[in-house]
Structure 1
Amino acid sequence: MSEPLIQATNVGKTYGQDVILERVNVDVHQGEFITLVGASGCGKSTFLKMILGTEQSSTGSLLLNGKPMPNEPGPDRGIVFQQYSVFPHMTVLDNVVAARGFQKASLTGLLFGRQKRQARDDAIAILEQVGLGHALKRYPHELSGGMKQRLAIAQAVICKPKILLLDEPFGALDPGIRADMHALILDLWKTHKLTIFMVTHDLKEGFYLGTRLWVFDKLRHDPQAPNAYGASITYDLPVSQEGRDTLDEITRQLGASRPTIPYKETA
């Protein structure tokens, strides 16, 4: 087997006296689709930010390709949040071109000549792939919630990241639109050979999309000092499109042993 893309060894994160994560030990290989579930505030999004580079581990080591995780975001790691990170004064096409510009050029995000033409061609191709080819000249306020999320995904993918980080990207969408977004993200994952980490509060969504599901929870609890201990990965479950029939059984196991893990229907 190839070397892990990401290695976490005894990773912990604290803010002052509050312990958020402790003793996180995992390896992730290129091409995996990791879904992260757990109670609110258990450190799922914090772990994503550590991979992105906007947060650093307090203890342990977090490696990317065998080297310490960079302490700032880079083009190899793209992120999509639940709240749409688009520029309201730019068209759909210009939003995606700007994402390439901020990657390649100065803080202005401006491209010129051949670079600009190539960025526009690449942006159009990505927007066609995410189903926004008909909306190139529209502005964000003219888009539905699902279309805005497609735009945010296109902004991330045009930078050709190796790793795509999704922080509850579909939580605000209606069930029907979420189903369309599931199909889209699976298509992008396969087409662009991405490694994906996705935080979700929907256990069924986590099983359906991922090849591997992590459950974050605290192994130790102190009622007198609720923040004295952090969460770890208490379950690391391999899942696959062929193994969906095990969902109900594992759901019951999780519910019985970890009643604090949220679960909601998608229908």
Structure 2
Amino acid sequence: MSFISIKNVWKYYDDNLVLERLNLDVEQGEFVSMVGASGCGKSTFLNMLLGRELPTKGTIVLDGETLKDEPNADRGIVFQKYSVFPHLTVLQNVMIADEFSSAKVLGWTFGNNKKLIKEKALEFIQAVGLTPAVAKYPHELSGGMQQRLAIAQALMKAPKVLLLDEPFGALDPGIRNDMHELIHDVWQKNKLTIFMVTHDIKEGFELGSRLWVFDKLRDDPQAPNAYGAQVTFDLPLAERVNKNNVNEIIEKVSRN
């Protein structure tokens, strides 16, 4: 059985069909880049993987269990807009999830339990290169540093799946390149299964081990909401794809 199985998944909002006939399997440790035009259902699909929404029809199975409409520690997410707590330091931001899990009433831990959570948080802070900023607050960090902090937060609960929703879209090119290296290292070292939504096809090729293109195969100008998007291309990117063929493939995907 595949690590993740998407079985005949459809998603409606009232009479608006967003996604249809999704039948896909993903193995543990794959990095799936998802591209497509705005409004074609990529973020909707990501929200179903997160558990924020359920398919209208069909099922999504993760590690043998059907996903429910409630996010849990199995799935971590990093958004384009930084999702950090402005009143907490870098260290406190990374510790907070484990502190809430360990002390649901007070939200803060003490003694040896707090020490263990702090040590764990410092390891992830070091992994994303934020050790010099451990006592700083988010407003003192650059955009790239805030995204590093969001990644450390997401990794703290040891998720089986990491979901990235346009995580680098607001960053300038130089910082984006640094973040690409970081997320690739995080993926390899933690053996994560990653799904990343991006509007940048080249970014999808550079980071992913697999590229999904979302698009509508059917369209009716008289009823624009009658049909949903499907995964029209499912491209394996083993060994990062032969670089001589990348531009040719990008042009092919863009035309569709």
Name the TM-score class by shorter chain: over 0.9
Q: What CA RMSD, in Å, does the superposition of the two structures yield over aligned residues?
A: 1.2
**What letter matches 2:173 in structure 1?**
P
- How far 1:240 sits from its partner (Å)? 2.9
1:213 equivalent to 2:245? Answer no
Unaligned runs of 5+ in 1: 259-267
1:250 equivalent to 2:249? Answer yes
- How far 1:110 sits from its partner (Å)? 2.0
Give the TM-score normalised by structure 2: 0.96
Identity %: 58
Residues 166, 196 of structure 1: 8 Å contact kept: yes
- Cα deviation, 1:186-230, whole Å, max 9, x if unaligned, reads 100011110000000000000000000000001110111111111
- How far 1:107 sits from its partner (Å)? 6.5
1:144 equivalent to 2:142? Answer yes
Q: What residue is the counterpart of 1:261 in the other structure?
A: none
Q: Secondary structure at the match of 2:70?
A: coil
Would you say how many aligned residue pairs link Structure 1 and Structure 2?
255
Aligned with residue 61 of structure 1, among 47, 59, 62: 59
- How far 1:244 sits from its partner (Å)? 3.9
- How far 1:104 sits from its partner (Å)? 4.1
Unaligned runs of 5+ in 2: none
Q: What residue is the counterpart of 2:4 in the other structure?
A: 6
Aligned with residue 100 of structure 2, among 86, 99, 102: 102
- How far 1:253 sits from its partner (Å)? 1.5
Residues 80, 166 of structure 1: 8 Å contact kept: yes
**What letter matches 2:180 in structure 1?**
H
- Cα deviation, 1:66-119, whole Å, max 9, x if unaligned, reads 221122111110000000111111111000000222344427532232221111
Give the TM-score normalised by structure 1: 0.92
Q: What residue is the counterpart of 1:46 in the other structure?
A: 44
Pick closer, same or farther for the CA change 1:239–1:45 going to 2, 3 Å. same
Q: Secondary structure at the match of 1:96?
A: helix
**What letter matches 2:71 in structure 1?**
P
1:125 equivalent to 2:123? Answer yes
Give, in whole Å, the separation in 2 of the partners of 1:79 and 1:133: 22
Q: What residue is the counterpart of 1:134 in the other structure?
A: 132
